[in-house]
Structure 1
């Protein structure tokens, strides 16, 4: 178990491991596999349209709107709960849990990682700050595990629950002979979906906005494709996706260019192993260098540049180019089970934003463009540093679509 290995015990109370992890994963996969992911398309399209409206109202708050959009999608699907804005308590809980995970999952980040007996010292002793952090993050971890699930149980009891993954799991556990175990697994499966979907994909979309500021020619090419395929009188839908290869290439490049998890999630060997002549003893921390895989100059010439064209050939996606999903969603049995959900939300967001808005550099007091560059945060989950840009409707017809397609209007 990762948290046990790293010394941060807070997540042991909320995260499954061993055989229980495999049970939770099976339950999770049941609702987020490639076959089921398409059933959530109406949620993606509704949230994308809501996202456009929020960008139109307060474009300077685009970073908060990105966070809200993905939290709203995953909360709606998982719990049937409406997230009204980015200050929602559920968004805050997810942010705190991800922050704690970022700290706990970095090998050697705390002295206790290397000197295990330090976990027994009281929190008041100098150097035992990790104990206080563990207590703090455990509080939010338990909130993540219980708060939305309890809300759904209460809503079911009074007949006001909205159909969701949680309601289905609760109904199944209530009909089960082993209710206690089924409830424990259901809480963990839904909480993993909640925190994973509410926060990590935010990084990829933020990188997309950053790329549009830095590479205006990419934005122009994408909008030309959208104008030809979709036209000015409606917003892109999933039916358009096969006809939008450049949009698809932008998605792939957004995932490759600035990785959400540049070193992936640490794994631990459960037995002695050997790789290319290197002996790897049992209990070793193994880091998969996803950044290196997706910035290999042989596979991706000029890897630091944002070039969607690298994934295209003769106007179509080139199957001979390495797909970023081989590394950006993790590896092995712990590969991100929600990747299909994330990719669908990413498509809807990228296509709708580029169809509706122009994204340009912010201007300084003298009217000169403010330069931006890709500066990423440290941690297992990495985010672009905050930056400014101008987001304006592309045209009067685009502005009308933004307003008319939003549920705020309807």
Structure 2
């Protein structure tokens, strides 16, 4: 027989045979599917235990959870017993749910997922007031049950606020601060030229080429590791490592956060798919951390090591006191891995959204190429010296980042103490989410916000109206993305260079007609566009020989 509990699209299937025995293939399909973007399965005895545990947690919460200040929590939608707002949240795109609630209840929201307090910030002003002006209280990270089992606790981006985080971030910042990032620009131009040649030879593989470019830049900057087209084993490690990123958000792990024992099921347990995924992820993470570090160590021993973040840090480690070497070494690992994961995933996705924007808006390409031809000419490719003279290219880069926020909810913050903001009580230990998606759709600042309009960043004379990109794209306060300077430079170089060399257009069907499509995205902690029909064709009679000459002229 089959018994089904229907909790507003949340299905709990319990299959029992006539003898009420539990079959080996019994599954808990997409438990609370609005809450988890992953599909995982556990034994039916866990299915019986889960609702009992939920009720127990709810009763304990009602007895113990009190607002010590006597002040009101921020407004928010009505909550169900036990699960709170979990069932009402779009598990795939929660930022859109939060934006809708923000329009109804205000830019500071309180929601609850099981036993977790969540405060959602939908405006840039409130984000700066709390996450920047009160950063000492808002710079930690919430508990995420999947971090340790999947190996992602080794990334300082997720490390709670404290001395371990400070040391790792300081090591990272020394290489990738604004001044330090300038040292990588010649390398970024060379990598951009490699990308142009790849796009010329196999334009149909543009999605893979953009991802490989992003990985290549960050691997070079972090480890002086040159990725080649034959690095299939390393690319396998990269893919396996990044696949675990989708399990690192509070929204996708609310059930696991409330019931972490589910991750302690043995891998052999029937239906323990999540446990097996964690084992695989941990293996890839360890390889991703150790393989390039060994490369640097071997290069230093051979006297062939080139400049990189890890090379500089390993030389510095030699000067550390013996009792601090282990601490320094752990911080080095956290910083280097954060560099790779952050730079690869975000930069590659931004570039894919750039291609999508160009396919959908050919008039933007026309204006951009006119600016490039006027400033750079046709005898060389753009380089960073041209950046101040190409404001429309910069406007395109900023609009891509605003139009499609890659990390729409950022990485969640957590309060270290309770707080009061404009009369509203924010609990100690609350998860605090800055909704970059809602900020990007602020119609007051960005009229027709869903449309791609680079001109919004230019004045009537065609000059940039703001010296910086939209702040919300990179986070806030002490947790702002420390690698944003090298990331922005990579994005600018690719946009300027590809527009100088190629035209982007819709794909054609068998009879030569444009293929219309509705863009869609894959989502997790980050977003990237799904494959779409696209043609990338060289302009100005470009071929491999001519492109090589332009590259030589630019570098010279």
Do these two structures clear the TM 0.5 threshold for a shared fold by scoring above it?
Answer: yes
Q: Paired residue for 2:423, among 277, 280, 283?
A: 277
> Residue 110 of structure 1: CA displacement?
5.7
Q: Is the 8 Å Cα contact of residues 110 and 130 (structure 1) preserved in structure 2? A: no
Q: Does 1:79 align with 2:226?
A: no
TM superposition shift of 1:121: 3.3
For 1:151, the equivalent position in structure 2 comes to 295
Equivalent position SS for 2:537: strand
Rg comparison, structure with higher value: 2
Secondary structure of 1:176 counterpart: coil
**Cα 1:12–1:72 shift into 2, 3 Å:** closer
81-90 or 67-76, larger mean C-alpha shift = 81-90
Determine the structure 2 residue equivalent to 1:383.
Answer: 528
2: distance between equivalents of 1:400 and 1:232?
15
Tell me how many residue pairs correspond in the alignment: 406
More helix per residue: 1
How far apart in 1 are the matches of 2:142 and 2:279?
13
**1:304 alignment partner in structure 2:** 450
Alignment of structure 1 residues 251-290 onto 2, 5 Å: 251-290=397-436
Q: Secondary structure at the match of 1:396?
A: coil
C-alpha distance 335-88 of structure 1, shift in aligned 2 (>3 A)? farther
**CA distance change for structure 1 residues 232 and 405 in 2, over 3 Å: closer, same or farther?**
closer
The normalised TM-score by structure 1 is 0.93
Q: Give unpaired runs (5+ residues) of structure 2.
A: 1-139
Please give the root-mean-square deviation of Cα atoms over the aligned residues, in Å.
2.2
Judged with a 3 Å threshold, the aligned counterparts in structure 2 of structure 1 residues 85 and 198 are, in CA distance, closer, same or farther, namely: farther
Q: 2:472 pairs with 311, 327, 334, which one?
A: 327
User: What's 2:154 paired with?
Assistant: 14
Question: In the aligned structure 2, how far is the partner of 1:113 from the partner of 1:402?
Answer: 53
Are residues 1:215 and 2:361 paired? yes
For residues 264-317 of structure 1, the C-alpha deviation after alignment (integer angstroms, 9 at most, x for no partner) is 111222221233433221222221110110111111111111100111112101
Counterparts of residues 7-406 of structure 1 (less than 5 Å): 7-9=146-148, 10-11=150-151, 14-16=154-156, 17=159, 18-85=162-229, 88-109=232-253, 111-125=255-269, 128-177=272-321, 178-313=324-459, 314-319=461-466, 324-396=469-541, 400-405=545-550
Deviation, 1:398, is 7.3
2: CA distance, partners of 1:86 / 1:195 = 21
C-alpha distance in structure 2 between counterparts of 1:37 and 1:293, whole Å = 28
Deviates more, 1:345-354 or 1:175-184: 175-184
TM-score, with structure 2 as normaliser: 0.69
Matched, 1:5 2:144: yes
Tell me, yes or no, if the aligned pair for 2:146 and 2:247 is still in contact at 8 Å: no
Distance in 2 (alpha carbons) for counterparts of 1:200 and 1:406: 26
Say if 1:6 and 1:108, in contact at 8 Å, map to a contact too: no
How far the C-alpha of 1:150 sits from its partner, in A, is 1.3
Is the 8 Å Cα contact of residues 407 and 526 (structure 2) preserved in structure 1?
Answer: yes
- Write the deviation string for residues 217-256 of structure 1: whole angstroms up to 9, x where unpaired: 0000000100111111110011111110100000000101
> Counterpart of 2:434 in 1: which secondary structure?
coil
Distance in 2 separating the partners of 1:132 and 1:369: 44
Structure 2 Cα separation of the partners of residues 349 and 51 of structure 1: 8
Cα distance, 1:405 vs structure 2? 4.4
SS in 1 for 2:527: coil
Structure 1 contact 13–142 (Cα < 8 Å) conserved: no
Contact 1:144 1:195 in 2 (8 A): no
CA distance in 2, matches of 1:27, 1:131: 33
1:74-129 CA-partner distances (Å, limit 9, x unpaired) = 11111111101285444443333332122222424363222234343333445643
Pairwise CA distance, 1:2: 5.0
In 2, Cα distance between equivalents of 1:108 and 1:199: 19
CA contact (8 A) 2:248 2:525 kept: no
**d(CA) in 2 for partners of 1:373, 1:145:** 38
